[in-house]
Amino acid sequence: MAERATIVGSGPNGLAAAVALARAGYEVRVLEASATIGGGVRTAELTLPGFRHDIGSAVHPAALSSPFFRAFRLRERIEWIVPEAGFAQPLDPLTPGGAARAGVAWHDLDRTAEGLGRDAAAWRAVVRPLARHLDGVVDFTGHQLLRVPRHPVTTVRFGLRALELGSALSRRTFRTDEAAALFAGVAAHANSSLPSPGAAASALFLLAHAHVGDGWAYPRGGAQAIADVLVADLRAHGGIVEPDSPVTDLASLDWGDPLAGDVLLLDTSPRLVLTHPDIPASYARDIRRYRYGPAAAKVDFALDGPVPWAHPDVAVAPTVHLGGTRDEVEASENAVARGRMTERPFVLTVQPSVLDPTRAPAGRQVLWAYIHVPSGSTLDPTELVTQQVERFAPGFRDRILSSTSMPASRREASNRSDVGGDILGGAFSFVQAVRRPVFSRTPWRTPMRGVYLASASTPPGPGVTGMPGWFAAHQALVDSAGVGVTLDDLFG
């Protein structure tokens, strides 16, 4: 009889682990708390019929460069939209009533640089070497950091840039409002204080993807397509997914016999391991010490037409960062890191329907947006987001047909992994890039036999990469067979 693998959680990492173990011959069962499958990669009609909104992730720069998804051939399994402009950040006119301004990260690096005036050379110098050696960047950032990198030159270059741009020195690197704002907007994805080396590293990773390959691509029809193809592959290899199956206590969960080779993988907050009856006190202490970060408050809009951006180039960029200048973005993010809010918060927006007509009825649009807020905040972001969009797109308010919001305080009830509304699986800092969630060369393996952590709370961390899930499955296979199984073995 085949060994059993029980996976708790059907996010991209749980499903990646499930696919790997099913292909390796395990009898796989995925237990999902929610009624719907996919965790951070789900799409649903949240507002009006025919308007399809991404519940979690919307744009996937890291999915197509992920070694797991490359082996899985995710690029070929679903249809991807590769935008001409990865992202844009509109700015106020220099004088009241003056011309609208914006920084735009085009897929074409030279076109981007040319739009950045006297920062053209600086943008090229920062981004081009990393974009040219994307494999080296992915190798370094896409693994446990406590290892010898395979591309040392790219790793050193990346590290030095992260230190420079993660400090006050960044003010000497980018001097135009456009380039400075573009960089700050991408760094703000880390939801931590700015500037900081951790946020700069995350920005460099995302920027390296913006100008090569498929750029900041996203699946036609929404992120749910990613979960759907993973589930299809899992089922084709005999695995099953059980929605509406929350796991609250590992002591009472029947997941088989670890001595017989059965395994349990947790695509959840690491806190769930605290319910294991045999958890050693020192490991429990480390898991309790793991820090969760500030949260996200999200709002989705159904619109009766495109967002009326004042700057025409912003209309063609699916991802739009709103928050004004670097100073404003930094003030907003630093306030949240200290547990406060500014009146004009940084807003991450995605307008997928500008390039994907399947997302809304003819002529209509969807807009996805979130702001960073302190952990557990009850703030409804709808009005703050509306004001920030209206600032750069006068008339936006009149286009709103319907909206629905999720304050941070409600997020954990919808996904137990989002502790306090943290959507990154734990605070994103330099220390927690290494201690994720514990200091170990094999952080996916717990001290309890057969039990593994597989979520974004393990390396390489958040984003839709499937890599934490693959590393956990790989560790389980190494521990049971004594030899490593490669992605080529499973998918070749």
Ligand X SMILES: Cc1cc2nc3c(=O)[nH]c(=O)nc-3n(C[C@H](O)[C@H](O)[C@H](O)COP(=O)(O)OP(=O)(O)OC[C@H]3O[C@@H](n4cnc5c(N)ncnc54)[C@H](O)[C@@H]3O)c2cc1C
Kindly tell me which residue out of 6, 18, 19, 40 binds ligand X, with binding defined by CB under 6 A.
Answer: 40
By CB under 6 A, residue 203 contacts ligand X = no
Minimum CB–partner distance for residue 287 and ligand X (Å): 14
By CB under 6 A, residue 292 contacts ligand X = no
- Cα separation, 241 vs 392, in Å, equals 44
CA angle 21, 27, 28 (to 5 degrees): 60
Kindly tell me which residue out of 7, 24, 28, 33 binds ligand X, with binding defined by CB under 6 A.
Answer: 33
CB count within 10 Å of CB 385 equals 26
- β pairing state of 263-266 and 365-373: unpaired
By CB under 6 A, residue 53 contacts ligand X = no
Kindly tell me which residue out of 5, 7, 12, 72 binds ligand X, with binding defined by CB under 6 A.
Answer: 12
Kindly tell me which residue out of 197, 231, 463, 480 binds ligand X, with binding defined by CB under 6 A.
Answer: 463
Kindly tell me which residue out of 3, 7, 34, 366 binds ligand X, with binding defined by CB under 6 A.
Answer: 34
Residues pairing with 120 in the sheet: none
Stretch that binds ligand X, among 82-90, 305-313, 354-362, 412-420 (CB under 6 A): 412-420
Instruction: Pick the closest to residue 135 from 59, 183, 205 (CA basis).
Output: 205
Minimum CB–partner distance for residue 269 and ligand X (Å): 6
Kindly tell me which residue out of 462, 473, 475, 476 binds ligand X, with binding defined by CB under 6 A.
Answer: 462
Stretch that binds ligand X, among 165-173, 307-315, 416-424, 483-491 (CB under 6 A): 416-424
Instruction: Pick the closest to residue 138 from 67, 226, 60 (CA basis).
Output: 67
* Sites for ligand X among residues 437-456 (CB under 6 A): 455-456
Tell me whether residue 70 or residue 111 sits nearer to ligand X (CB atom).
70
* Sites for ligand X among residues 345-374 (CB under 6 A): 370
- Cα separation, 17 vs 10, in Å, equals 10
By CB under 6 A, residue 276 contacts ligand X = no
Instruction: Pick the closest to residue 372 from 204, 178, 191 (CA basis).
Output: 191
SS3 content of the chain, % helix, strand, coil (to 5): 40, 15, 45
Tell me whether residue 176 or residue 192 sits nearer to ligand X (CB atom).
192
* Sites for ligand X among residues 370-399 (CB under 6 A): 370
The answer to whether the peptide bond before residue 318 is cis (omega within 30 degrees of 0) is no
Stretch that binds ligand X, among 31-39, 126-134, 320-328, 339-347 (CB under 6 A): 31-39
Provide CB contacts within 8 A for 352, sequence distance 6+: 54, 58, 59, 81, 218, 222, 318, 359, 366, 368
CA angle 429, 433, 435 (to 5 degrees): 105
- Cα separation, 213 vs 115, in Å, equals 21
Cβ atoms of 298 and 385 closer than 8 Å: no
Cβ atoms of 369 and 296 closer than 8 Å: no
By CB under 6 A, residue 432 contacts ligand X = no
Kindly tell me which residue out of 58, 188, 203, 331 binds ligand X, with binding defined by CB under 6 A.
Answer: 58
Minimum CB–partner distance for residue 83 and ligand X (Å): 13
Tokens, residue 408: 């941070």
By CB under 6 A, residue 142 contacts ligand X = no
User: x/- binding map, residues 298-337, to ligand X, per CB under 6 A?
Assistant: x---------------------------------------
* Sites for ligand X among residues 246-265 (CB under 6 A): 246-247
Tell me whether residue 190 or residue 490 sits nearer to ligand X (CB atom).
190
- Cα separation, 238 vs 225, in Å, equals 20
Minimum CB–partner distance for residue 147 and ligand X (Å): 21
Residues making contact with ligand X (CB under 6 A) = 8-14, 31-34, 39-41, 56-60, 62, 246-247, 267-268, 272, 296, 298, 370, 415-417, 423, 425, 455-456, 462-464, 468
